[in-house]
Amino acid sequence: MKKSVSKLALLLFTICFSSIAFAQDFQGKAYYMSKTTIDMDQFGGGQMSAEQKKRMQDRMKSFLEKQYVLTFNKEESIYKEEEKLEAPGGGRGFRGFGSMTGGPQYKNVKSKEALQEQEFFGKQFLIKDELKDLEWKMGTETKQIGQYTVFKATATKAIDESDFTSFRRRGRDNDQKKENDKAKDSTKTGEKADTDSNNTLDELEIPKTIEVVAWYTPQIPINQGPGDYWGLPGLILEVNADRTTILCTKIVMNPEEKEDIDKPKKGDEVTQKEYAEIIAKKMKEMQEMYGGRGRGGRGGGRRN
């Protein structure tokens, strides 16, 4: 009990001291690395070979491993992916994923304004919405990230159809039973098996909510963070959300050359809800297209 009280007192003291020390016109840059892991067994019904899994992982690497820079002041921030040269043939992604590119993400914690440029299947969108609050539960657990003492906070975050990183197979707990049933079914033809493999998209779903663990430092007393994350009494240096980890690797305070934090402007303006509906519609089209391809082999796909 005494240990928790002392940590809480340390947190309050750090917040008060740091707030006084920061000038109104200060600016900083935080560099992050983001990595998402995906269970390859979720694709292809768990029937992919080790070589096929590795090949798919290599194609997805540019989508799942990224580096970002968060430029911030007391009220605003802009979160941008760092540009890098792709190896020949790299960065193509696979079906759908490679056709989705996130642009600069702007947050204003005073006006609660959120803006992001997003390209999806060759079309540019500007997602404009109100900055959504997360109901953080503040903890007293601490650790060190570089020279900064960080405190733990947790929250439950609602997600939508545009978040591909949380894809998972439906009824994952019953997968083994289904595999056993398939093995017993001696009447199943190779043609039917092909249909099942083409219907992988039909087996995928996105959960309604995910659990988020964030680590923030009151030594930088702004309530900003990477991506959608904000609202804590200090800069968020690490986020663990479902299968994604975002970790701050470097911080530069008051750089000699300050950067303008400009609002994104490119694209057709939509809300987050409208953009999620566009994603859902496209995913349905893909399900019908790839599912239909398997079924067409039986009746509609004549060959001369």
Instruction: Compute the distance between CA of residue 177 and CA of residue 104 in angstroms, rounded to an integer.
Output: 45
pLDDT score, position 155: 97
How far is C-alpha 285 from the geometric centre of its chain's CA atoms? 23
Per-residue pLDDT of the chain (304 residues; tens, 9 = 90+): 555 555 555 555 555 544 444 556 789 999 999 998 876 665 555 566 777 767 776 676 767 889 999 999 999 999 999 876 555 444 444 444 445 678 999 999 999 999 999 988 889 999 999 998 999 999 999 999 999 999 999 999 988 766 666 656 565 544 444 444 544 444 444 444 444 444 555 566 667 889 999 999 999 999 999 999 999 999 999 999 988 999 999 999 988 888 889 999 999 999 988 998 888 888 788 777 766 554 444 444 444 4
DSSP letter string, 20-82:
HHS-TT--EEEEEEEEE---GGGSGGG---HHHHHHHHHHHHHHHEEEEEEEE-SSEEEEEEP
What's the mean per-residue pLDDT of the chain? Answer: 76
pLDDT score, position 219: 95
What global pTM score does this model have?
A: 0.74
